[in-house]
């Protein structure tokens, strides 16, 4: 036998030398759920280890994450039902606690990178990402609302706008609105290939944002499609996106790879709530070893071509790295 691949796995030193994929905490974005009020830290039942935070409790939590090496966060608001309406006006209202929180976090920690969510669902009495009329999700009528939301977030100090709504033309619309208002340096991470997935359940529990009627299949993509992901990616690129995102991640590694091979833009992947919840549940049952399975799942996303990973495991990953439980 001339060729023996096992020689390159013979010792830890050799394995480290030939390791192809390295995942650093700097590649991770940590999703955080915000609620209005004080002294609130309520665990999301379907996403153990994740909480709805009031700002006062979140500030020290962010400090802890920074000390572990996590410096990028994506924020989502859990809005009280009384502030929701059909046109999501609270999303750009000055009194919105989410906007105030962005401002406060950036004032407290100017070096963190904060990403927002742009979509109507957390603020919509219909629970859809776009405007609903006669059971239909309207595209063009939704764009001005998304534009106002994005500008309000930019005014609050956000670094990256995250349109997760899947309306056609929204990246160009938001880019133009931001530029007109002088926010040329605020980036856009577009949820380019966002699928109509069953794996968003725990997230919708966290925000009470599930659709009141119907599903999201007229705007989110069919899990059966991959050419369509290229089409969406191409459009977002032309429209001025700074990053392209694939969502979910582990069930869509082929799509991540496809976009990576066909784009010069950084590729992000959202390791969504249901994917994290599945793994956590198996680990809590003793069926999988969290400290081994979790880093392996994140590594697979990086290996497939994601430059940036949004994951609920970000803090734990950074902590394990600090404790020497993961080697780069």
Residues 6+ apart with CB under 8 A from 39: 54, 56, 57
Q: Whole-number minimum distance, CB 206 to ligand PBG, in Å?
A: 8
Choices 197-205, 238-246, 249-257, 279-287; region in contact with ligand PBG by CB under 6 A: 197-205
Q: Whole-number minimum distance, CB 39 to ligand PBG, in Å?
A: 25
For residue 325, indicate whether it is catalytic. no
Q: Report the residue number, 18 or 252, with the smaller CB distance to ligand PBG.
A: 252
Angstrom distance (rounded) from CA 155 to CA 328: 38
Catalytic residue from among 71, 84, 216, 247 = 247
Residue 119 engages ligand PBG in binding (rule: CB under 6 A): yes
Angstrom distance (rounded) from CA 293 to CA 282: 10
Q: Report the residue number, 129 or 239, with the smaller CB distance to ligand PBG.
A: 129
Angstrom distance (rounded) from CA 239 to CA 247: 19
Nearest one of 226, 308, 314 to 268, comparing CA atoms: 308
- Strands annotated E in 64-186: 72-78, 113-115, 131-133, 136-138, 160-161
Q: Report the residue number, 215 or 327, with the smaller CB distance to ligand PBG.
A: 215
Residue 164 engages ligand PBG in binding (rule: CB under 6 A): yes
x-marked contacts with ligand PBG along 70-89 as a string, rule CB under 6 A: --------------------
Nearest one of 208, 230, 212, 211 to 221, comparing CA atoms: 230
Q: Whole-number minimum distance, CB 116 to ligand PBG, in Å?
A: 10
Q: Report the residue number, 136 or 217, with the smaller CB distance to ligand PBG.
A: 217
Angstrom distance (rounded) from CA 319 to CA 64: 10
Q: Report the residue number, 151 or 277, with the smaller CB distance to ligand PBG.
A: 277
Q: Report the residue number, 85 or 286, with the smaller CB distance to ligand PBG.
A: 85
* Residues 140 to 159 in contact with ligand PBG, rule: CB under 6 A: none
Choices 145-153, 196-204, 234-242, 292-300; region in contact with ligand PBG by CB under 6 A: 196-204
Nearest one of 146, 286, 166 to 215, comparing CA atoms: 166
For residue 260, indicate whether it is catalytic. no
Angstrom distance (rounded) from CA 15 to CA 106: 41
Query: What's the gap between Cα 16 and its chain centre?
Result: 30
Q: Whole-number minimum distance, CB 79 to ligand PBG, in Å?
A: 12
Angstrom distance (rounded) from CA 194 to CA 163: 11
Neighbour tally for 1: CB within 10 Å: 3
Choices 65-73, 113-121, 136-144, 261-269; region in contact with ligand PBG by CB under 6 A: 113-121
Angstrom distance (rounded) from CA 144 to CA 180: 14
x-marked contacts with ligand PBG along 246-265 as a string, rule CB under 6 A: --------------------
Choices 38-46, 114-122, 136-144, 318-326; region in contact with ligand PBG by CB under 6 A: 114-122
Nearest one of 137, 96, 132 to 116, comparing CA atoms: 96
Residue 177 engages ligand PBG in binding (rule: CB under 6 A): no
Q: Whole-number minimum distance, CB 158 to ligand PBG, in Å?
A: 15
Q: Report the residue number, 113 or 210, with the smaller CB distance to ligand PBG.
A: 210
Count each helix (H run) and each strand (E run) in the chain, helices first.
11, 12
Catalytic center residues: 194, 247
Q: Residues in the site for ligand PBG, rule: CB under 6 A?
A: 117, 119, 121, 129, 164-165, 200, 203-204, 272-273
């Amino acid at each position: 036998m001339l060729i023996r691949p096992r020689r390159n796995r013979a010792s830890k030193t050799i394995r480290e030398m030939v390791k192809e994929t390295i995942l650093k905490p700097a590649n991770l974005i940590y999703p955080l759920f915000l609620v209005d009020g004080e002294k609130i830290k309520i665990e999301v039942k379907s996403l153990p280890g994740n909480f709805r935070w009031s700002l006062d409790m979140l500030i020290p939590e962010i400090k802890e994450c920074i000390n572990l090496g996590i410096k990028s966060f994506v924020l989502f608001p859990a809005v009280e039902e009384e502030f929701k309406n059909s046109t999501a006006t609270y999303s750009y209202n000055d009194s919105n606690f989410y906007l105030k929180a962005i401002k406060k976090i950036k004032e407290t920690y100017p070096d963190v990178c904060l990403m927002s969510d742009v979509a109507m669902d957390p603020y919509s009495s219909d629970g859809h990402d776009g405007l609903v009329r006669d059971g239909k999700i309207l595209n063009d009528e939704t764009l001005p609302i998304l534009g106002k939301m994005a500008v309000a977030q930019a005014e609050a100090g956000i670094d990256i706008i995250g349109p997760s709504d899947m309306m056609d033309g929204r990246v160009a619309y938001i880019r133009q609105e931001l530029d007109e208002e002088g926010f040329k340096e605020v980036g856009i991470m577009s949820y380019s290939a966002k699928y109509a997935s069953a794996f968003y359940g725990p997230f919708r529990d966290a925000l009470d944002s599930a659709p009141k009627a119907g599903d999201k299949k007229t705007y989110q993509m069919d899990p059966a499609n991959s050419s369509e992901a290229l089409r969406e990616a191409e459009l977002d690129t032309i429209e001025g996106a700074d990053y392209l995102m694939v969502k979910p991640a582990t069930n869509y590694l082929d799509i991540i790879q496809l976009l990576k091979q066909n784009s010069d833009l950084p590729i992000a992947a959202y390791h969504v709530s249901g994917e994290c919840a599945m793994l956590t549940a198996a680990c809590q049952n003793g069926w999988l070893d969290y400290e081994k399975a979790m880093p392996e799942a994140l590594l697979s996303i990086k290996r497939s071509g994601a430059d940036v990973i949004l994951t609920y495991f970000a803090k734990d990953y950074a902590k394990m790295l600090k404790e020497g439980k993961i080697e780069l």
